[in-house]
Amino acid sequence: FVPTTPNPTTGFLVTVPKRLVTVLDIPVEDGIKMVMSGGLVVPPSLRAPPAAGRELPPADGGGRPAMERRS
């Protein structure tokens, strides 16, 4: 089942060869939470590790702006 947006309760069924399937060792409930939240709710075991050594720019706008601000 492949959910669609904006309503993840709708979607379509895809048939794929078994060799292309990745079986996840997570409870069905966690999988449903991931689908229904659009990926915002992820079990701790599947979260990406924090990016070491990367710092965010200050919130006061001191970082390099993506676009010049208009007056």
Single pTM value for the model: 0.50
Range of the domain at 24: 2-40
Q: Residues of the chain with pLDDT > 90: what percent?
A: 13
Residue 20 lies in a domain: yes
State the pLDDT confidence band at 19, using cuts at 50, 70 and 90. very high
Residue 71 lies in a domain: no
Count of other CB atoms within 10 angstroms of residue 34: 19
Residue 48 lies in a domain: no
Residue 47 lies in a domain: no
30-59: per-residue pLDDT in tens?
988 888 888 888 888 888 777 766 676 667
Q: Helices (DSSP H) in the chain: which residue ranges?
A: 28-36
* Total structural domains within the chain: 1
Residue 66 lies in a domain: no
